[in-house]
Structure 1
Amino acid sequence: MSRRLLLSGLAVVTLVGAAITYVVHARTGGATENAVPVVTGQPMTLEARTLFFRNLADGPDSGRLAAVPVGDPGAARRVGELHCDRFAAARSTAICLRLKPGSLPPLTDMIVLDANLHERHRETLPGTPSRARVSPDGRIVNWTVFVTGDSYAATGFSTRTGLYEVDTGRLVKTIEELAVFVHGKRYFASDVNYWGVTFGADGNRFYVTLGSRGKTYLIEADYRAYRGTAIAENVECPSLSPDGRRIAFKQKVATGTWRLAVLDLTTHQIIHPPESRSVDDQPVWQGNSTLLYPLRNATNSSDTWSVGLTTPPKLLIPQADTPSFSSPN
């Protein structure tokens, strides 16, 4: 992300015991100002009716986890000290994926956080951060990282998806041993990749993308039985709606181009929300009829947008990505 020098100076406004900082002295070099109003000095917790995201606006607080009220996404961004490349939360659990600085080959810290965003567990994984989710009951965190060097990866990289049970400490570093059935037969291939897990409300049923031999499949899986079945093709980065009726996903329409799509799990009909731009991320549901997703902008950063199933897209939070809610919204 490019950094530019904005107007120098310092303007601080005190609000509810915290500071809204428009201009601050740089702590680590780079831009000396926050390009947007930022609230500091307040505790960050997984309270309800809050939208969390990674703040990408220029300034010393760029890259930090930020939060705004769901009903006022344009409010001053409350930021803490937590840096995450990917973030997700549910109930009283959150996951933060952070690339380890200077690691070659790249390594990612997978950090499990409690309701006060205090570290509960940490694993260091090979690869770079890609996707992160928490089961709705807060009991399982899951992640996907890009990994280089796998011999079967024709593109030079592959994905690795894992799970961690918060209560038991059980760690599944990769779900590649998941028994999967495609067209009624057990599927075996040397180039299998999984990415983009999304869990049902019971924390047992989950959906994930399987990529192999030039195709992608939506896998519906049973965690306890550790078994899955392909139920659709050309589905990537699935996201289950809170009511469990629909899967939002990115549908490939050309090389490097994806269209936002929604699959009805009962009728298997697919609709396309009125978003014509390429969406290359795992969408997030806000309620059962609105989707949130990041899009690249002219500054080579990202903005977070929202779109209804039938209503047009709108810019929700500029200079922000990896949106997440900690509770049903």
Structure 2
Amino acid sequence: MTSSRPAPSLPARLAAFSLRARIIAVLAATTVLATVAVVYTIGAARRAQPTDPASAFGLDHGRLYFRSTGAGAGRVARLPAPDGRSGAASAPRSGHRTTGGPACERFYAAAGTGLCLQRRPGIPPRSYAVVLDRRLREKRRIALTGIPNRARVSASGRMLSWTMFATGDSYATTAFSTRTSILDTRTGYLIKNMEEIPLTLDGRRYHSPDVNYWGVTFARDDNRFYATVSTKGRTYLVQGDMRRWAARTIRENVECPSLSPDNTRLAFKKRVRPGAGAPWRLYVLDLRTLREHPLAESRSVDDQAAWLDDRTLAYALPGREGRSSDVWTVPADGGGSPSLAVPDASSPVRVP
């Protein structure tokens, strides 16, 4: 005898259909919600992340780059370059800066190469020299010790130099020690500390344990350079030769030299008052005649001034109205007057 199972009743079939429908609806709703959550999470993450320097901006010709201390504090930002025709920026411009570059304590750039000095918290804090490409993407990272202080790139983008405070944090006193490095980006050769360079002072080979170098600036040939050396409480301008690896003093009381684009003049800060209170004034030295003249900026400038062009210098000063620092410009010929170029900024450089 063949047995047969009785067919489900209509109420039972309706109940089963309703259960399946509810399961399908729940699964569909779950899928939709999961998709929405993923999309929202990705979008929120993108909004929360700093702007990718590679997509935000690169090293474009004619732009003024600087470290922003206002919007996007600590990151590299840019503006159209100040109008150099009048020898100074026409007006401060803070509302149209493009932010989102790499985070740097000091920044400089030329010819598609950027140098970013970073300091990271920790015990002890960590510092790095980061070499950047034209799109401000990292190419090389070098671990350092100390506090970032000066950064320079040669006009060709080949030679890089940076100075770190090994002890102390100000040139205004004698209680400091520096370590200055030079990197040849073409060969990859790194001079970790240039204190061992053979030095000639007043025509004689000089040796002293208290020698400190800082503020390197390169000539267009990527061989000649200028820097400050201090010893026995005095500072000197030195001219160096990379191929011969030698340096000689050429003038006293010169700090943080900066070579003009035409390679004929050096801007520098000169100690005009003793002690640690506002001791310096900006000067320009003619390398052919070795004559110097003060600039119209009478305030004390503790910075390595940057040439925006052959007529105009930019530098940072402590900020006003609660700002940490501002960038100012002044004519290089000694005339005119200082002009506020960029509020809430430091480390100015114009990419030629």
TM-score between the two structures when normalised by the length of structure 1: 0.82
Q: What secondary structure, in the 3-state scheme, does the structure 1 residue paired with 2:298 have?
A: coil
Deviations 1:83-110 (A, max 9, x none): 0000000101110001122242x43110
Q: Do the aligned partners of 1:107 and 1:128 also contact (CA within 8 Å) in 2?
A: no
Q: Do the aligned partners of 2:56 and 2:101 also contact (CA within 8 Å) in 1?
A: no
Task: Note the residue ranges of structure 2 that are not aligned, 5 or more in a row.
Answer: 1-46, 84-91
Q: Is 1:295 aligned to 2:317, yes or no?
A: yes
Q: Do the aligned partners of 2:119 and 2:128 also contact (CA within 8 Å) in 1?
A: yes
Of 62, 66, 78, the residue aligned with 2:77 is 66
Q: How does 1:236-255 map to 2 (within 5 A)?
A: 236-254=255-273, 255=275
Of 33, 48, 57, the residue aligned with 1:44 is 57
Q: Is 1:54 aligned to 2:67, yes or no?
A: yes
CA distance in 1, matches of 2:150, 2:48: 29
Indicate the residue corresponding to 1:222 in structure 2.
241
Q: How does 1:99-118 map to 2 (within 5 A)?
A: 99-104=119-124, 106-118=125-137
Q: Do the aligned partners of 2:54 and 2:137 also contact (CA within 8 Å) in 1?
A: no
Cα gap change, 1:269/1:156 in structure 2, threshold over 3 Å: closer, same or farther?
closer
| Shift in Å, 1:169 | 1.1
Indicate the residue corresponding to 2:118 in structure 1.
98
Q: Tell me how many residue pairs correspond in the alignment.
A: 285
| Shift in Å, 1:272 | 0.5
Amino acid at match of 2:59: L
CA distance in 2, matches of 1:114, 1:135: 14
Q: How does 1:1-329 map to 2 (within 5 A)?
A: 43-57=56-70, 59=71, 61-71=72-82, 74=93, 76-104=96-124, 106-148=125-167, 155-254=174-273, 255-256=275-276, 257-298=279-320, 299=322, 301-308=324-331, 309=333, 310-327=335-352
Deviations 1:211-248 (A, max 9, x none): 11000000001111001111110000000000111000
Amino acid at match of 1:240: L
Quick one: higher RCO (CA 8 Å, sep 6+), 1 or 2?
Answer: 2
Cα gap change, 1:260/1:155 in structure 2, threshold over 3 Å: closer, same or farther?
closer
Cα gap change, 1:44/1:98 in structure 2, threshold over 3 Å: closer, same or farther?
same
CA distance in 2, matches of 1:84, 1:189: 33
Amino acid at match of 1:49: G
Q: What secondary structure, in the 3-state scheme, does the structure 2 residue paired with 1:138 have?
A: coil
Q: Do the aligned partners of 2:199 and 2:247 also contact (CA within 8 Å) in 1?
A: yes
Q: Do the aligned partners of 2:272 and 2:280 also contact (CA within 8 Å) in 1?
A: yes
Deviations 1:93-147 (A, max 9, x none): 110001122242x431100001111100001111010000001111111100000
CA distance in 1, matches of 2:174, 2:298: 27
Q: What secondary structure, in the 3-state scheme, does the structure 1 residue paired with 2:56 have?
A: coil
Indicate the residue corresponding to 1:34 in structure 2.
none
| Shift in Å, 1:71 | 4.4
Name the larger-Rg structure.
2
Indicate the residue corresponding to 1:4 in structure 2.
none
Q: Do the aligned partners of 1:198 and 1:207 also contact (CA within 8 Å) in 2?
A: yes
Deviations 1:184-203 (A, max 9, x none): 00111110000000000111
Q: Do the aligned partners of 1:42 and 1:80 also contact (CA within 8 Å) in 2?
A: no
Task: Note the residue ranges of structure 1 that are not aligned, 5 or more in a row.
Answer: 1-25, 29-37
CA distance in 2, matches of 1:231, 1:71: 33
CA distance in 1, matches of 2:300, 2:121: 30
| Shift in Å, 1:325 | 2.0
- The structure that is helix-richer by fraction is 2
Q: Do the aligned partners of 2:64 and 2:82 also contact (CA within 8 Å) in 1?
A: no
CA RMSD of aligned residues (A): 2.1
- The structure that is strand-richer by fraction is 1
Deviations 1:135-176 (A, max 9, x none): 111111110000029xxxx94430000011112111110101
CA distance in 1, matches of 2:183, 2:54: 31
Indicate the residue corresponding to 2:89 in structure 1.
none
